[in-house]
Chains A and B, each alone.
Chain A
Amino acid sequence: MTDITNAPAVPRKATSTELVAASLKRRRRKQIRLQWIGLGAISIAFLMLFILVASLVSTGWQAFTQTHVTLEVYVDPEEVPEDRLPRGGFRDVLGASMGQMLPDVDMSARETARAVEGILSNGAQFELRDRVVADPSLIGQTFTMTVPVSDPYDQLNKGLIERETEEVNRRVKDNEIAWFDTLADSGAISKPFNWGLFTNADSRFPELAGLKGALVGSFWALLTCFLISFPLAIGAAIYLEEFAPKNKLSDFIEVNINNLAAVPSVVFGLLALAVFIGWFGMPRSAPFVGGLTLALMTMPTIIIATRAALKAVPPSIREAALGLGASKQQVVFQHVLPLAMPGILTGTIIGLAQALGETAPLLLIGMNAFITSAASSPFDSSTALPTQIFIWADSPERGFVSRTSAAILVLLGFLVTMNAIAIYFRQKFERKW
């Protein structure tokens, strides 16, 4: 409008309508460009997520199967005399039965025999030992046994070691491939689902390494975390939301909780190391200490969620209960809290899911130790799922690459399940007032 009033003297210049119409195309183009940039940004984020998941799945799915070889084992009483159990030449027993399956191989040469025995996992002899110790009548008998093959052969069978590679650059040599093919042709090689991934604890040998220790450790840590953080956080949230007088102390507590939520996780690790382990002398690498640390980190999350849930309960409920003569605590514990419970549980599950993926503080309290058995109590040394991933990612053996991806897929599976439960809770029990 200013254009019109200011410029009537200039004859027949474009009216503002015309000016706008002329510029409109350019301006629309600008807007469309902005939209495209936005779409591009979202696509980048999606692409990254896709690459992340795809790379994990493509490297990890192989670890969910494990190559096994089925052997006819004759437990030679000369190698394994009953009176010397649990000692005995179990390795040689296995070597002999391998020799029978590969008749063309000259097993008298020491080096060759070693190499043939190397097809089997190092754990095979212990499996045989455990079976014989459990049932000594097996000595002198022949029975079939299915054991994992060692990592290089597992990778060969899965196509991760390519036969076209030049022999010097390959971990499995030509003659070894020939042995393996002989075994495969005779039908001794199988590739079943890798239950060992869930039933074995950690091991130096990729084909034997499993997640049992990590799963148990994470379970104890999360249980400790839940038992400590849940009651403390609910108590704190109820007090702050329903009872706390508006004073300096309440403000200070509130500021503290908000800041704690943003403190880097590694600082909680330092706290745990200095206070729990250094001053109180709690055991290192114990899931209990890990759970305690995670509880301190999870508490702010649960407090914030609980306060939001309490706030969502309408005042009419409180007023009705108060009007019927309930005390303030009776109102909160008998009416408000049960109504807020679904929201609280949702927040708690999300907080626990975060705690499950937390790694740095657990590293500092030593939950990255190499431990080959699952913890039987929360005070035993143990790893946890994320720290196990860290350990495997650091291992030089090729076989651990796909194990790491598989462990990550397991971890992500747990996280997805927990979040799905939280969403289910929210949708099932959420009430619109």
Chain B
Amino acid sequence: MTSYHGMFSALLILVPVLTFILLWIALQGPVVDRITMAGLPEGVLDGLDSGGVQLVLAEIKSVSRGQIFGTPEDWKIAAAGRYVILHDRADWWLFAAVTILSLALLAFARSRVAADFRARQGVEGIVSGLMIFCSTVAIFTTIGIIASLSYETWRFFERVPVAEFLFGLNWEPQIPLREDQIAAKGAFGWLPVILGTIVITVVALVVAVPVGLFSAIYLNEFAPKRLRSIVKPVLEILAGVPTVVYGFFAILVVAPAIRSFGQSIGLDVAPNTALAAGGVMGIMLIPFISSFADDALSAVPQAMRDGALGLGSTRGEMMTTVLFPAALPGIVGGVLLAVSRAIGETMIVVMAAGLIAKMTINPLDSVTTVTVQIVTLLIGDTSFDNPKTLAAFALGMMLFLVTLMINILALRIVRKYREAYD
């Protein structure tokens, strides 16, 4: 197989060179920025926080693109000139480095390739290296999530004490925290936020669990084959609808309907009541729960069904007294996964739930959730050094940990029970 020799050379050259180019492109921007900022005259950046510094950098960049608003100071124009030169020079350096690297690798490859060289083994070695790299991307992603969340959370706890965050009963992140102001006490207590999350999750489960469960029971045991083949895909459609669509549905239809119904029976319902967000989230979770319950019921061995029927129970009794209890662990696992989905669900609550954190468990009232707070704190201006933005990362950390624990628990329950019957 002669083609392996060429393949070997190509891979030997392309893999390092492409990696090098990608790394260079990723690092060029930040490095040039840093050199530009370091070259500014002394004193011009005094008294600016990191947001102000970012602003100066952005202005220099826009000047370098020729977009000039007003009259920038001379040092900014000079810096813009340096910025352009640095980028040009960087491009040249990249070109030169890539050429040298390619030639060196080509020479190396040429020296290796000979009639008796085992090229296939060489190629396969490189390919397996690439595949191992691909599979470690998942690990790197996890590391990235944990590292970024912990780093920003740690910076948050430098500014706000851990105890305040974990046990505080007030969540008012909109209070501006100035240098001379001691962080408004208790403004970053996450308890009302998590309470709101729980309220909405409970409402969602109250809708989703009965509907999903009874659908699964019917589909699994009683439905004619034709009906089953129609219902299952339709439920899958419900699962495939993007959550932003559910969010719009909640504000367009569900919330006004609940509100006017509440008013007609004399109840005071908030316009963004937890019932609307939770109820719509429940609709979203119906297919999730029903498919998990269906799988769990199907996994119960046929012998148990036959046994129950043979002893004279009706199919209904077989379902309630034999199949359902036997499938219960799997169903519980599915419900737990649904809980973790509900806690982490973002768009429905961002659009349909409230923004203000209250210590209330009244589902007619408006409550807020962890994900709503993360999104509202980070939309718009984000400089990474005020507690307001960092608080979002602390909430994200808690969200990640809570959902991770629930997922691990749920998967363990599901797996354990599956093994019992296999």
Contact = CB atoms under 8 A, between A and B. Distances in A.
Nearest to B375: A363
Interface string A380-392: 0000001001100
A360 B213 CA distance: 29
B22 to A, nearest CB: 11
Contacts of B214: 37-38, 40-41
Interface centre among A262, A279, A415 (most CB of B within 10 A): A262
Nearest to B254: A51
Interface residues of B, number: 92
Interface in B243-296: 243-249, 251-253, 283, 286-287, 290
Given A41-B211, A42-B219, A235-B135, A265 B149 contact: no
Contacts of B80: none
Contacts of B283: 45, 48, 52
Contacts of B131: 235-236, 238-239, 243
Interface string A292-306: 000010011001000
B138 A49 contact: no
B26 A45 contact: no
Given A266-B344, A270-B396, A359-B244, A34 B316 contact: yes
Contacts of A52: 241, 245-246, 249, 253, 283
Nearest to A389: B244
Interface in A373-408: 386, 389-390, 393-394, 401, 404-405, 408
A260 interface: yes
Interface in B32-58: 33
Interface in B356-378: 371, 374-375, 378
B138 A253 contact: yes
Interface string A20-52: 100000011011101101111110111011011
A77 interface: no
Nearest to B320: A34
A266 B392 CA distance: 11
A393 B247 contact: yes
A32 B221 CA distance: 12
A270 B134 contact: no
Interface stretch (B8-16, B106-114, B175-183, B398-406): B398-406
Contacts of B130: 235
Contacts of B287: 45
A257 B138 contact: yes
Nearest to A35: B222
A143 interface: no
A234 B374 CA distance: 33
B138 A299 contact: yes
B321 to A, nearest CB: 11
Contact of B142 (A37, A260, A394): A260
A78 to B, nearest CB: 33
Interface string B127-145: 1101111111111011011
Given A49-B234, A49-B237, A393-B251, A20 B312 contact: yes
A271 interface: yes
Interface string A254-267: 00111110111111
A189 B214 CA distance: 54
Contact of B33 (A56, A232, A273, A281): A281
Interface of B: 26, 29-30, 33, 120, 124, 127-128, 130-139, 141-142, 144-145, 148-149, 151-152, 210-215, 217-219, 222-223, 231, 234-235, 237-238, 240-249, 251-253, 283, 286-287, 290, 312, 314-317, 319-320, 337, 340, 343-347, 350-351, 371, 374-375, 378-379, 382, 384, 392-393, 396, 399-400, 403-404, 407-408, 411
Considering the complex of A and B, which 7 residue pairs feature the smallest CB-CB distances, nearest first?
A: A38-B218, A264-B344, A357-B242, A31-B316, A235-B134, A274-B148, A41-B214
8 contacts: A28-B314, A34-B316, A39-B218, A45-B283, A49-B238, A232-B137, A236-B138, A264-B340
